[in-house]
Structures are given as C-alpha cells and as structure tokens.
C-alpha cells in the first residue's frame, strides 16, 4: 500500500512539473507573438538592437552568451577535474574528504550577487591592468571578466558530479590496474577516465546550461553593451543580462515582446542543453 501511494505521489509531482514547464512555455510564446509577427526571422538574424527605432536583432546577445559560457567552461574544467580526482580518488581520510566536499558545495550556495561584487572589486582591476599591458582599451568589465566569474560559479557543479562518478568506478577494476603494475597516473588516465567519460561530458553540458542562464553576476561585470563583441576584452551582453537590464524600462509593445522572445530563446537553449545532459547522465549510469 505504501509503495502504491508513494508511486502515485511521484507521478503527481512529475505531472505538475511537466504542466508548469508547459505553462511557462505557453506564456513565453504568447508574450512573444507581437515580436514574432512584426520582426519575423530578422529577430534571430539581426545584429542591431535599438528600442528607439523598434529594431531588434538578438545575434550579439547569443554570441555573447555562448562566448562567455564556453570560455568559462575552458577555465573551469581543469580545476573541476582536479578537485574531483583529489576528492574522489586521492584523498583517503574521510573527514578531510568531507571537509573538501563541504567547501566545494559551499561555493554553489553563495548568491550570484556576491560573485558579482567579487568580480567588480577583485577581477575588474586585475583585468584592467592586463588590458593596459596588452595595449587594449582598459574597460575592466567585459567578456573575459564575466567568463572568469562564471568559471568560479560552475566549478562546484562540475566537480561534484565528476567526483561522484569517480567513486562509482568499481574497486576491483582499479585494483586490477595496480596488480598489473600501473601507477596512479596510469590508473587515472587508462582506467578511471575511460570509465567515466560519459559522466564527464554530462557534467560539462550541465555546467554549460548553468552558465548560459546566469544573470545577476554576469550583468554586473560584462559591461552591458548591445554591440557585437569583437574580442574577449569587449563589453557585451548575454540574453539573460539583456532581459535583466531592459525589462523594467521597456515601454513599447514591440520592445517588451522582443525581450520576452529573447527569454523564450534562452528557455529553449537551456532546455535543450539540460535535456541532452540528462540523457547522457542516464546512459552513463552503471547498471
């Protein structure tokens, strides 16, 4: 009886979640109808965003979103992989392992606005000094700064998932490697990595989805420029930061609808990334 009630409860919760996602999608589509009707495909292919003339092209923000997210992944991945291996494989002391895991998880619980302040007060001056040495316009804020902030924010997500996958590697496989004369280096690269490669790929996808949707921290350090970025030092905007900056100031119907359509595009991108990540996670599960 208890099992049946529990299954019904889980089914109801799942159905409610699906309904909420569907209603959210419907509301975004409804709010985007004006923009879709007036702007058409020009919204997805245009590079100019000018509320004064009702000209709205989302290409600069899509480019800014993907550049910041990809750079963040490139910076965060080596650190996340190192932390995961250290916690999941090298550390033998349980209390020290729990301490490291707690410290890593604590990073995930810090509000994004705190990361934004940290980026403003610490990273912006450092990036500005770097730009001056490279003879680049010393904005300080821009894609590079936003990517570094995002990299710190997504490290806990990647490292915790990879560490869990490392712990799932059967001990007999690792011991078999040692019995054949393998070193720790050989075990990591020839036994553990091949075994958890699907989990590593899934962690990268899920962290990418997290980076794509980040709003406040990115808005504070990316420079908030609606121009197409020319380098990683350029001020830019992401889809999320665009909506955060302009939604409260949008007065025209087309402007407001264009922002909702930008949110719809962000919703679709995030949903696709997370769906793909979940599928990879399901295939990576050990039977």
Which DSSP string corresponds to 54-113? TEE--HHHHHHHHHHHHHHHHHHHHHHHHHHHIIIII---HHHHHHHHHHHHHHHHS-HH
Task: Please name the helix (run of DSSP H) or strand (run of DSSP E) that holds residue 44, with its range, or none.
Answer: helix 42-45
Whether the CB-CB separation of 73 and 153 falls below 8 Å is answered with: no
Name residue, tokens 């590593």: 200
Please tell me the predicted confidence (pLDDT) of residue 1. 61
Which DSSP string corresponds to 126-169? HHHHHHHHTT----S-SHHHHHHHHHHHHHHHHHHHHHHHHHTS
Nearest to 257 by CA among 26, 72, 84, 36: 36
* Residue 279: strand, helix, or coil: helix
Percent of the chain with pLDDT over 90: 23
pLDDT of 237-246, one tens digit each?
999 999 988 8
Query: What is the token pair recorded at 155?
Result: 């490290």
Please tell me the predicted confidence (pLDDT) of residue 287. 45
Q: What is the CATH number of the domain that holds 153?
A: 1.10.3720.10
pLDDT of 130-175, one tens digit each?
989 988 888 888 999 999 999 999 988 888 888 888 888 888 888 8
Whether the CB-CB separation of 283 and 198 falls below 8 Å is answered with: yes
Residue 117 φ/ψ, nearest 5 degrees: -65, -40
User: Measuring CA to CA, how many Å separate 139 from each of 62, 132, 151, 166, 225?
Assistant: 21, 9, 20, 41, 12
Domain that holds residue 62: 2-284
Please tell me the predicted confidence (pLDDT) of residue 286. 46
Whether the CB-CB separation of 232 and 67 falls below 8 Å is answered with: yes
* Residue 138: strand, helix, or coil: coil
Walk along the chain (287 residues) in steps of 10 and give the mean pLDDT of each run: 68 78 86 89 88 88 93 92 84 72 77 90 92 88 92 88 84 83 82 85 86 88 89 90 86 88 90 79 58
Number of separate domains in the chain: 1
Query: What is the token pair recorded at 227?
Result: 């121009």
Query: What is the token pair recorded at 217?
Result: 């921290």
Q: How many residues does the chain have?
A: 287
Which DSSP string corresponds to 185-220? HHHIIIIIHHHHHHHHHHHHHHHHHHHHH--HHHHH
Pairing between β-strand 49-50 and β-strand 55-56 as defined by DSSP bridges: antiparallel
């Amino acid at each position: 009886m208890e099992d049946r009630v529990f299954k019904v409860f889980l089914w109801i919760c799942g159905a409610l979640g699906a309904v909420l996602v569907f209603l959210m999608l419907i509301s975004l589509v409804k709010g985007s109808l004006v923009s879709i009707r007036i702007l058409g495909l020009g919204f997805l292919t245009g590079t100019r965003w000018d509320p004064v003339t009702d000209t709205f092209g989302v290409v600069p923000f899509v480019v800014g979103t993907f550049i910041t997210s990809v750079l963040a992944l490139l910076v965060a991945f080596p650190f996340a992989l190192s932390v995961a291996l250290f916690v999941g494989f090298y550390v033998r002391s349980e209390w020290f392992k729990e301490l490291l895991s707690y410290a890593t998880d604590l990073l995930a619980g810090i509000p994004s606005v705190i990361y934004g302040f940290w980026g403003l007060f610490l990273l912006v001056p450092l990036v500005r000094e770097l730009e001056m040495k490279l003879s680049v316009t010393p904005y300080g804020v821009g894609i590079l700064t936003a990517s570094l902030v995002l990299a710190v924010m997504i490290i806990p997500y990647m490292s915790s998932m990879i560490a869990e996958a490392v712990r799932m590697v059967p001990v007999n496989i690792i011991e078999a490697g040692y019995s054949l004369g393998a070193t720790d280096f050989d075990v990591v690269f020839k036994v553990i990595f091949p075994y958890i490669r699907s989990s590593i790929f899934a962690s990268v996808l899920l962290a990418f989805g997290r980076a794509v949707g980040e709003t406040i921290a990115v808005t504070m350090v990316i420079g908030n420029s609606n121009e197409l970025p020319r380098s990683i030092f350029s001020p830019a905007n992401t889809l999320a930061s665009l909506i955060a900056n302009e939604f409260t100031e949008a007065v025209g119907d087309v402007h407001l609808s264009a922002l909702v359509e930008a949110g719809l595009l962000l919703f679709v991108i995030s949903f696709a990334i997370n769906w793909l990540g979940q599928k990879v996670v399901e295939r990576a599960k050990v039977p």
